[in-house]
Chain A
Amino acid sequence: MELESNYEIRRVADFIRSNYFTRVALQFPDELLKDSMRVVKALRQELSSSVKLYVMADTTYGSCCVDEVGAAHVNAECVIHYGHTCLSPTSRLPALFIFGKASISTSNCARNVLSHGLKSGKPVLVLFGLEYAHAIPDIREELARNASSLSGSTSMVEYFYADVSCSVVNPSETSKPANQLGLVDSEVVNGCLTEETSQNYSMGGLSWRLPKGRNMEEYLLFWIGMDNPAFANLALTFNSCEIVRYDATEDSLMTDVSQQTKILKRRYYLVQKAKDANMVGILVGTLGVAGYLHIIHQMRELVTKAGKKSYTFVMGRPNPAKLANFPECDVFINVSCAQTALLDSKEFFAPVITPFEAMLAFERGSQWTGAYVLEFPELISSTPSVVREESEEARFSFLQGGYVEDLDLRDNEEVEKDGMSALVNATEKALQVRDEDSQSLTKSIPKSGAEYLARRSYQGLDIKESNSLPQKFLSGRSGKASGYKHEKRNGN
């Protein structure tokens, strides 16, 4: 039965039974929602009636993350997450991830891996979308068979495979206070990425191990799966590696990843642009991924240290219309799981950047050497523990082609000390400035929300309206917004 295998009904039931969960939330992405009732029905048959099942859909943030807040509404004890996932660690609830099983021709895939591996001569590292995890053992086997049949004629090409780290995420391992988590993880991650001794890598739920003394650059990355955020993240993170993508649905090989380098360049531009920002909005893009609070605090601190003003927004999934409601922000930092963090900002009024990019932008003296980090634990660890020595040089802005210094840093620290009065001061200052040139069409650049408001030509309802008499009753428009009644007539 397809439903049974695709949704792994038996495994889910076993998981629930073995942990004695009684309230279980089933989280479906939009595209799988149509199957939800059948899945529930199938599970019902397996489980005793004491277990309550809840279907969750339309998650506030990306559907790849576990919606812990949603689950908390029904006091669920665990979440079963279906479909594509980023496998970000959860902070409160245990979760079981069911990736689903996408169909793939193992022989075609293996042939492609083999032929491409031979062509490049580099050792091949096979990575894959989680929906293809089920087929990997088969591919592996196939490949070994093919390779041995060819081994007489060719030199040895090494093959490495990534593993799915774990499809069950238990918060007990990671639910320590966030800052402690940072420390623990930092040791591990530092070991992984910067030192040569241990060679563990992990990303988007995959983990792999390389022999000592080898760099990622020496490998050919072979990605099996679609061109989705997971792949984009891979391409960004390992932007100096050669990457090919095998599309299983179309059974074709894509070797041209120039689009990815374009994205990287574009991100670089956004970082430069963020450097010029005066006001920064921090978007809370997740309430589930472990360490998100820590990152938000870290970002806030970073922004303040850079002499800029930060505002934190919780608005669910960001879209251009939502963000444009805050035109005072010059840039937004999207704190979310790795796979929803990259937003193409062309349509947005202000650029949206990731926390890593924010670190590049707001930390003095930091330079982009090509490395790219998206996952929280690595980000937390990459903050320098010692305060970097203030670089003497003024900041050079490539957008303006010269040195700029937006704020006197020392001055700003003083302002921060007496929080509330600072706002008043800033408002006053802004008001003065406005008075001076209320006649002209340009005004100085605002440095806080209060100053921005003062700069606006419209600042809200005018209470001092001189005419206090009640106004005459007028009849308004009637009809629908798509065309009011009187307009319909005009239009036709």
Chain B
Amino acid sequence: MVKFTSDELRRIMDYKHNIRNMSVIAHVDHGKSTLTDSLVAAAGIIAQEAAGDVRMTDTRADEAERGITIKSTGISLYYEMTDASLGSYKGERNGNEYLINLIDSPGHVDFSSEVTAALRITDGALVVVDCVEGVCVQTETVLRQALGERIRPVLTVNKMDRCFLELQVDGEEAYQTFQRVIENANVIMATYEDPLLGDVQVYPEKGTVAFSAGLHGWAFTLTNFAKMYASKFGVDQSKMMERLWGENFFDPSTKKWTTKNTGSPTCKRGFVQFCYEPIKQIINTCMNDQKDKLWPMLQKLGVTMKSDEKELMGKALMKRVMQTWLPASTALLEMMIYHLPSPATAQRYRVENLYEGPLDDAYANAIRNCDPEGPLMLYVSKMIPASDKGRFFAFGRVFAGKVSTGLKVRIMGPNYIPGQKKDLYVKSVQRTVIWMGKRQETVEDVPCGNTVAMVGLDQFITKNATLTNEKEVDAHPIKAMKFSVSPVVRVAVQCKVASDLPKLVEGLKRLAKSDPMVLCSIEESGEHIVAGAGELHLEICLKDLQDDFMGGAEIIKSDPVVSFRETVLERSSRTVMSKSPNKHNRLYMEARPLEDGLAEAIDDGRIGPRDDPKNRSKILAEEFGWDKELAKKIWAFGPETTGPNMVVDMCKGVQYLNEIKDSVVAGFQWASKEGPLAEENMRGICFEVCDVVLHTDAIHRGGGQVIPTARRVIYASHITAKPRLLEPVYMVEIQAPEQALGGIYSVLNQKRGHVFEEMQRPGTPLYNIKAYLPVVESFGFSSTLRAATSGQAFPQCVFDHWDMMSSDPLEAGSQAANLVADIRKRKGLKEQMTPLSEFEDRL
């Protein structure tokens, strides 16, 4: 029973004030997909009755099976507001019809890259919080991400039904719980003061907080009740709303409002009196099948039921009644339409976050004004597998201009640099498609402000890209997305039958496309590597690889492998020297650890090779205590010219030094990529060139002599500076009841983890535990934990930092030494580390 057609949708797409792009974000299992279902129900794609059971947006079999969302899915919804409810809407609008482009995103932290991709193409976010569990780690992460992207949030306190049916708490207690949830969310939001975005905190009395029961398909905002009571009390609707929240009490016996509880037994908080209790009453009446009482009550509320629905009993009856009385879609969609920005509004301030180029050029202006007549600016945020195997839809958002079937577009990949030809293609869009749940509808064109899927570009886009018109050669790309997780867990894959190699290659290519985060690469040893954010993420990726992208050809996967980093603990014990192959040139060098926090600053891009040298030396001098002169003598960052290691020139008055700079830098890039311990990347090391002796003839001090020497001297200085391994560490957040704590602690201890925060959630028996856990130990962690706590604890792991392993890898038999030997063996290197004498020369 489709209530609307693609033509209808297409028509509203032109009304840029009547569009809302929004994503649904939350912690895992807080009910995003279920809630989304109720919204989709309103747009009429699935039957109202089934809402809550179908999980419309979980389109994959494994999603349905596991009951978690893995991929984010977009749906376009159509909603018509009544004149009455739009009465007080101040913003620009164009009729009463609205188009809502909704993206349901996964809640599990392993898939938070999907959330990032979803947020980029939306302007508003519906934050779903479980009223019992409250704000969890993932809620916080995604909320921060949303605000970082200048996404305006609204909140819904979900799973209200648990309050009524499961916990049966009384009104005041429920109010306190809700209040706390909202407060916690506001604390996070308050840290994002942004003059352009305005106040982003949410207030029930302003209608930016909804209360919902996704499973039962009902929800309300205070607006609903205020409307109902405003006429009864003869007060203004907004006034009424304020009374329904906070310290406002009403005593029916005196019919008086007070700002604190008078102590009289009939005096109750406004919210409890007028919202909570009536709902509770209805639910109880339904559950007890007191139909004789129910019908008059419903009549009073103006709810009419169909005759066949009157036959329902118990829970089914309750569900139906509540859905009719307080339909989730009305409450939530109206809240979004009312309080979330339209593309026209949002792009005005988001352009700064989005556009990489100058903010006053034609493209920035077109984005700012959401100009359908302007040049095309489209950001492809992810690739979605199409039904014909191996092909993908490019899914994204049109920020300016129009994209149409057959249009020739300029595809700017993530490595595109304006003015160059790298990572740039010109191709035509074969088809433009919009998404309606499980169905796709082809449309002629899609104007700015909307999400769109395109056919025919998948052979040129890996994960994301910026599209513009063919002729717009001056356009800069839209900024790349920043992910909150990184692919730290890796497995090597190979095919069982050697001749399947082309299949594997093709499959990996597709896998790389299908997920915003997964990394398909190749090791020095020739093994194909798939890297993901966590164990679950990898599991899903490998399953996809084998089943969907390789046509079922069998693969063998190795045990998960974690990459380490090599660093130093102290300054080199002495200045080391290496001679060039011809013995005529000598390099003297020392290694020392970078200052605390400097490596992270380089990671974050606060300090990097592209900075203005003046700025860079200012930061280095002020924050890290560097000598200002020295800060100007940084030769390079590495590996890959941007990594968290440096080579610095400390020489004084050396002739020809400038000549060998390039060669030393080349040697440094090489060495910092493959450290001396186990050929892992280096991290947090500063190499100081102390002195050089060079042959007077240029021919004898060329790259051939200096590059290998620079590499050797870097290794030598590394080995003499107490080398150490760094291992990646997860931050784990676990929420569990008190009786599970013992199990959690023992599992963590066993896995070398340590707890750094334990907090009881106020008003709940639940504890929140934060701990650090080495990534190496995390394999099988969640299942061990589940077993040890009889399924009561569910961990969320996210990469946090690199931690130095205290043992000395040079000391035979130490833990680090064994680890180094293992890595070397896996990489097919000699098990014994190359000794210092191979790298260091003496006079």
Do A and B form a real pair? yes
Give me the interface of A with B, judged by CB distance under 8 Å: 239-240, 262, 264-269, 272, 320-327, 347, 349, 367-370, 392-394, 396, 398-408, 411, 437, 439-442, 444-445, 456-458, 476, 481-483, 487-488, 491
Closest Cβ–Cβ distance, residue B340 to chain A (whole Å): 33
In-complex Cβ contact of A396 among B425, B462, B502, B524 (8 A): B462
Residue interface mask B651-684, A partner, CB < 8 A = 1: 0000000111111001000100000000000000
Closest Cβ–Cβ distance, residue B251 to chain A (whole Å): 66
Closest Cβ–Cβ distance, residue A321 to chain B (whole Å): 4
In-complex Cβ contact of B661 among A269, A393, A458 (8 A): A458
Residue interface mask B406-428, A partner, CB < 8 A = 1: 00000001110100111111000
Could you jot down 8 A-B contacts, CB within 8 Å?
A: A266-B524, A394-B460, A398-B521, A400-B521, A404-B415, A441-B641, A456-B662, A481-B583
B459 lies within 8 A of A393 (CB):
yes
A369 lies within 8 A of B659 (CB):
no
Closest Cβ–Cβ distance, residue A414 to chain B (whole Å): 13
Q: Which 6 A-B pairs have the closest CB atoms?
A: A265-B526, A325-B704, A402-B462, A441-B609, A393-B459, A269-B526
Set of chain B residues within 8 Å of A367, measured between Cβ atoms: 501-502, 505
Q: Which of B735-763 contact A (CB under 8 A)?
A: none
For A269, the closest partner residue in chain B by CB is B526
Q: Which of B683-710 contact A (CB under 8 A)?
A: 695-696, 702-705, 707-708
- Beyond A262-B525, A265-B525, whether A457 also contacts B611 by CB under 8 A is no
Closest Cβ–Cβ distance, residue B692 to chain A (whole Å): 13
A406 lies within 8 A of B658 (CB):
no
Set of chain A residues within 8 Å of B704, measured between Cβ atoms: 320-325
Cα distance, A393 to B458, chains bound together (Å): 9
A324 lies within 8 A of B703 (CB):
yes
Q: Is B528 an interface residue (CB 8 A)?
A: yes
The DSSP consensus for interface residues of chain A is loop
B522 lies within 8 A of A326 (CB):
no
Set of chain A residues within 8 Å of B703, measured between Cβ atoms: 324-327
A369 lies within 8 A of B641 (CB):
no
Number of interface residues, chain B, beta carbon within 8 A: 67
Closest Cβ–Cβ distance, residue B745 to chain A (whole Å): 39
Give the one of A401, A408, A437 with max B CB within 10 A: A401
Set of chain A residues within 8 Å of B525, measured between Cβ atoms: 262, 265-266, 269
Give the one of A240, A321, A322, A437 with max B CB within 10 A: A321
Set of chain B residues within 8 Å of A240, measured between Cβ atoms: 498
Set of chain B residues within 8 Å of A487, measured between Cβ atoms: 843
For B502, the closest partner residue in chain A by CB is A367
Q: Which of B512-540 contact A (CB under 8 A)?
A: 512, 519-528
- Beyond A266-B525, A394-B460, A440-B609, whether A370 also contacts B499 by CB under 8 A is yes
Q: Is B636 an interface residue (CB 8 A)?
A: yes
Closest Cβ–Cβ distance, residue B588 to chain A (whole Å): 12
A402 lies within 8 A of B663 (CB):
no
Cα distance, A347 to B839, chains bound together (Å): 13
Set of chain A residues within 8 Å of B708, measured between Cβ atoms: 320-321, 324, 347, 349
Set of chain A residues within 8 Å of B583, measured between Cβ atoms: 481-482
- Beyond A266-B525, A394-B459, whether A403 also contacts B609 by CB under 8 A is no
- Beyond A266-B526, A394-B459, whether A441 also contacts B637 by CB under 8 A is yes
Cα distance, A472 to B15, chains bound together (Å): 80
Q: Is B634 an interface residue (CB 8 A)?
A: yes
For B828, the closest partner residue in chain A by CB is A262
Set of chain A residues within 8 Å of B666, measured between Cβ atoms: 327, 349
Give the one of B508, B524, B611 with max A CB within 10 A: B524
Set of chain B residues within 8 Å of A402, measured between Cβ atoms: 413-415, 462-463, 512
Residue interface mask B456-472, A partner, CB < 8 A = 1: 00011111000000000
Q: Is B300 an interface residue (CB 8 A)?
A: no
Set of chain A residues within 8 Å of B512, measured between Cβ atoms: 396, 401-402
Cα distance, A401 to B415, chains bound together (Å): 12
B462 lies within 8 A of A403 (CB):
yes
B662 lies within 8 A of A401 (CB):
no
For B510, the closest partner residue in chain A by CB is A396
A369 lies within 8 A of B501 (CB):
yes
In-complex Cβ contact of A369 among B414, B463, B499, B609 (8 A): B499
Closest Cβ–Cβ distance, residue A351 to chain B (whole Å): 10
Closest Cβ–Cβ distance, residue B703 to chain A (whole Å): 5
B421 lies within 8 A of A408 (CB):
yes
Give the one of A267, A320, A396, A411 with max B CB within 10 A: A396
Q: Is B613 an interface residue (CB 8 A)?
A: yes
In-complex Cβ contact of A439 among B424, B613, B641, B707 (8 A): B613
For A482, the closest partner residue in chain B by CB is B583
For B706, the closest partner residue in chain A by CB is A324
A396 lies within 8 A of B509 (CB):
yes
Cα distance, A408 to B661, chains bound together (Å): 32
In-complex Cβ contact of A321 among B521, B611, B705 (8 A): B705
Q: Is B584 an interface residue (CB 8 A)?
A: yes
Cα distance, A326 to B707, chains bound together (Å): 10
Closest Cβ–Cβ distance, residue A330 to chain B (whole Å): 12
Closest Cβ–Cβ distance, residue A314 to chain B (whole Å): 16
Cα distance, A81 to B268, chains bound together (Å): 109
Q: Is B581 an interface residue (CB 8 A)?
A: yes
Set of chain B residues within 8 Å of A491, measured between Cβ atoms: 843
Closest Cβ–Cβ distance, residue A366 to chain B (whole Å): 10
Set of chain A residues within 8 Å of B637, measured between Cβ atoms: 441
Set of chain B residues within 8 Å of A396, measured between Cβ atoms: 462, 509, 512
Cα distance, A408 to B416, chains bound together (Å): 13
In-complex Cβ contact of A267 among B417, B526, B843 (8 A): B526
A441 lies within 8 A of B707 (CB):
no
A457 lies within 8 A of B662 (CB):
yes
Q: Is B642 an interface residue (CB 8 A)?
A: yes
Cα distance, A399 to B522, chains bound together (Å): 6
In-complex Cβ contact of A398 among B460, B520, B612, B702 (8 A): B520
Set of chain A residues within 8 Å of B11, measured between Cβ atoms: none
For A320, the closest partner residue in chain B by CB is B708
For A369, the closest partner residue in chain B by CB is B499
Closest Cβ–Cβ distance, residue A463 to chain B (whole Å): 14
- Beyond A262-B525, A268-B526, whether A327 also contacts B519 by CB under 8 A is no
Q: Is B610 an interface residue (CB 8 A)?
A: yes
- Beyond A265-B525, A323-B704, A403-B462, whether A457 also contacts B658 by CB under 8 A is yes
Give the one of A265, A266, A399 with max B CB within 10 A: A265
Closest Cβ–Cβ distance, residue B705 to chain A (whole Å): 6
Cα distance, A268 to B422, chains bound together (Å): 25
Give the one of A325, A402, A458 with max B CB within 10 A: A402
Residue interface mask B318-335, A partner, CB < 8 A = 1: 000000000000000000
A440 lies within 8 A of B459 (CB):
no
- Beyond A321-B581, A441-B637, A444-B420, whether A458 also contacts B609 by CB under 8 A is no
Set of chain A residues within 8 Å of B659, measured between Cβ atoms: 458
Set of chain B residues within 8 Å of A439, measured between Cβ atoms: 612-613
For B422, the closest partner residue in chain A by CB is A406
